[in-house]
Amino acid sequence: MKVVKKNVLMLCILLLSVSFVLAGCSGGNSNDSGSGGDKQPVTTKNPSSENTPTTQLKPYKLKLVYPGSAQLDQAKVQEAMNKIMQPKINATIELMPIDWGQWDNKANLMIASREKFDIMFTAQWNGHAVNVSKGAFLPMNDDSLDKYGNLLKKHGQGIIDSLSPIFLEGAKINGKNYAVPTNKELAAQGGVIYRSDIAKELDLDMTKVKTIKDLEPILASVKEKRPGMTPLFLRNGDNFNAHYFVQTDALGDASIPGVILKDQDNTKVVLTSDLDRYNETLKITRDFMKKGYINKDAATTSLGTGEALKAGNIFMVVVPLKPGKDAEMANGISLQGKLKQIEMTPKTVSTGETSGSMLGISTTSEDPERAMMFINLLHTDKTLNNLLNFGVEGIHYDKVSDNIIKATDATKNYSPGSSWMFGNQFLNYIWDTEDPQKWDKFKEFNKDAKKSPGLGFTFNAEPVKTEVAALVNVGKEYDPPLDTGSVDSEKILPKFREKLKAAGLEKILAEKQKQLDAFLASKK
């Protein structure tokens, strides 16, 4: 990194150390998370660019690709969004949700086949660095980009003005931003969300749950008294190892092997399976699976956690938490007042949290500048932001006050539950079943979070991209069955490690350690 960039990064990290009054991520996976900085949202009349007046822009249809279920009233919402977008940036939108269970395969195929689309959801836990190494996303802050120049500077001023610099700095790969982070919560915490109505019916004392082991009698009781209900729903990406229970910092893309612990000070890069806490978690999960507490198809199911809860036969799911996650999730699946959350890990923050939810511009886009204008609108235009997240006022919700909304009979027709993915969560409305102080609590949530020693560092996979591609495929084969308790870890882990080693594990670990050491040395 150049000296100037180092100084900017050091300043950002210093500011974070002084105060976490920044709001911003979680990652999570299929149903998650959001937040931002101290800066206030900025609404711009024409976020395109002073150099490119809207009247000079040709009509263009933007394609937005993201994980989630298609909504019954999606066409109505697109039409309403177009009425806002056309006078501002002379563009229309095509929403292209992909079911969570098919997301990885279909998104990877779209990237590999060079399918033409404009904007795609991306995250450090979802192969972002790997996809950057494949040339999937355009750099947004590259002055030397011949045709488009610095997209963020030209068409993303609202993003720059409203988003804490911690997010943009933390999401960089080799000094470049290949996606814009969502403005949302920064700290991360693992836990569970459960059906509080079922717990009350079965007289379960949920206050005793502090650790994964404490779940044993709860899950056993549900299995015994409600035989038609799955006590614990797990899936690839939503399990005890994926959501903060092991407290690993993947130093960038979570699909690339090599971690340090977020809640410790040691900076030696190791394989996750070298960690005692990881192996202990695998054993507990396997025990739960053998006792019938976990859905048998956990390693292969295409059902998202929200969809599973909505089906009505699931008692508990594992998710990344934030203030009010239970109420937010309940509103998205019509279970208002029936979900509660239990925080089970300390709050931590790493670079991964800054890039846990982002929008990238595809290198196949035929108008990247228009794509950046649209992303900028999601960070600055409150009406457009809430249209995408909650639908049309008077149809999919009614207003109680300026920022509080209530459900209608048609809410179920447009309820994507994806507000943590798009733009600036501080522009989002709050359901009347949620805490009206939700956004203030997000800021409070970030205070006193344990900072990973690797905060600010993102691994650049380019020097080992061949090995990374091979190891990511090995991980896809072994991680889901291991993390969901579907296989005996003592038998499978040795085979997993052998395949990783054969695919170039040692080279990747050495390169990660080298880059991390250089980053840490630059901070002294």
| Structure tokens, 33 | 């998370």
Strands across the sheet containing 91-98: 91-98, 60-67, 119-122, 358-361, 180-181
Q: Of 49-58, 103-112, 194-203, 382-391, where does mean pLDDT reach its minimum? A: 49-58
Q: What is the fold of 60-185+354-451? A: D-Maltodextrin-Binding Protein; domain 2 (3.40.190)
Instruction: Give domain 189-346+461-523's CATH architecture.
Output: 3-Layer(aba) Sandwich (3.40)
383 and 77 Cβ atoms separated by less than 8 Å:
no
Phi first, then psi, for residue 141 (nearest 5°) are -125, 40
Q: How many CB atoms lie within 10 A of CB 403?
A: 15
Please determine, for residue 6, whether its predicted confidence score (pLDDT) is greater than 70: no
Interatomic CA distance for residues 459 and 464, integer angstroms: 11
Residue 400 is predicted with a pLDDT of: 95
Please determine, for residue 38, whether its predicted confidence score (pLDDT) is greater than 90: no
User: What percent of the chain shows pLDDT beyond 90?
Assistant: 64
Residue 433 is predicted with a pLDDT of: 87
Residue 447 is predicted with a pLDDT of: 77
Residue 25 is predicted with a pLDDT of: 37
The model's confidence at residue 39, banded by pLDDT at 50, 70 and 90, is: very low
Residue 112 is predicted with a pLDDT of: 95
275 and 261 Cβ atoms separated by less than 8 Å:
yes
Interatomic CA distance for residues 315 and 196, integer angstroms: 9
Please determine, for residue 123, whether its predicted confidence score (pLDDT) is greater than 50: yes
Strand bridging mode 119-122 / 248-249: unpaired
**Ramachandran assignment for 75, one of left (phi > 0), alpha (psi -120 to 50 degrees), beta (any other):** alpha
The mean pLDDT of 111-133, rounded to a whole number, is: 92
Task: For residue 393, list its beta bridge partners.
Answer: 397
Interatomic CA distance for residues 148 and 504, integer angstroms: 37
Q: Which single residue is written with the structure tokens 């066409």? A: 75
Residue 306 is predicted with a pLDDT of: 87
Residue 22 is predicted with a pLDDT of: 37
User: Side chain identity at 4, as an amino acid letter?
Assistant: V
Residue 294 is predicted with a pLDDT of: 98
Interatomic CA distance for residues 513 and 149, integer angstroms: 33
| Structure tokens, 155 | 């068409």
pTM: 0.71
Candidates 316, 344, 353, 314; CA nearest to 164 is 353
Residue 146 is predicted with a pLDDT of: 66
Residue 54 is predicted with a pLDDT of: 62
Residue 333 is predicted with a pLDDT of: 83
Please determine, for residue 44, whether its predicted confidence score (pLDDT) is greater than 60: no
User: Side chain identity at 76, as an amino acid letter?
Assistant: K
Q: What is the pLDDT of residues 447-493, one digit of tens each?
A: 778 889 998 788 888 899 899 999 989 999 999 999 999 999 999 99
The model's confidence at residue 28, banded by pLDDT at 50, 70 and 90, is: very low
* Average pLDDT across the chain, whole number: 87
Residue 17 is predicted with a pLDDT of: 40
Q: What is the pLDDT of residues 277-334, one digit of tens each?
A: 999 999 999 999 999 999 999 999 988 888 899 889 999 999 989 888 998 889 878 8
User: Side chain identity at 283, as an amino acid letter?
Assistant: K
| Structure tokens, 513 | 């350690």
Interatomic CA distance for residues 388 and 514, integer angstroms: 42
Residue 53 is predicted with a pLDDT of: 58
∠ Cα 132 465 423 (to 5°): 20
Q: How many CB atoms lie within 10 A of CB 87?
A: 10
Which is more confidently placed, 169 or 266? 266
338 and 330 Cβ atoms separated by less than 8 Å:
yes
Q: Which single residue is written with the structure tokens 């996809």? A: 131
Q: How many CB atoms lie within 10 A of CB 141?
A: 17
Asked whether the domain spanning 189-346+461-523 has the same topology as the one spanning 60-185+354-451, the reply is yes
The conformation of residue 119, written as its DSSP 8-state character, comes to E
Q: Map out the domains of the chain as residue ranges.
A: 60-185+354-451, 189-346+461-523
Q: How many CB atoms lie within 10 A of CB 234?
A: 31
Residue 52 is predicted with a pLDDT of: 56
Q: What is the pLDDT of residues 176-223, one digit of tens each?
A: 899 999 998 888 899 999 999 999 999 999 999 999 999 999 999 999
427 and 324 Cβ atoms separated by less than 8 Å:
no
Q: What is the pLDDT of residues 378-416, one digit of tens each?
A: 999 999 999 999 999 999 999 999 999 999 999 999 999
Q: How many CB atoms lie within 10 A of CB 78?
A: 17
| Structure tokens, 261 | 């612990």
Interatomic CA distance for residues 110 and 97, integer angstroms: 13
Q: What is the pLDDT of residues 331-344, one digit of tens each?
A: 878 888 899 999 99
Residue 7 is predicted with a pLDDT of: 41
Residue 356 is predicted with a pLDDT of: 85
Phi first, then psi, for residue 195 (nearest 5°) are -80, 105
Please determine, for residue 12, whether its predicted confidence score (pLDDT) is greater than 90: no
Per residue, the 3-state secondary structure of 7-24, as one string, reads HHHHHHHHHHHHCCCCCC
Residue 49 is predicted with a pLDDT of: 44
The model's confidence at residue 143, banded by pLDDT at 50, 70 and 90, is: confident
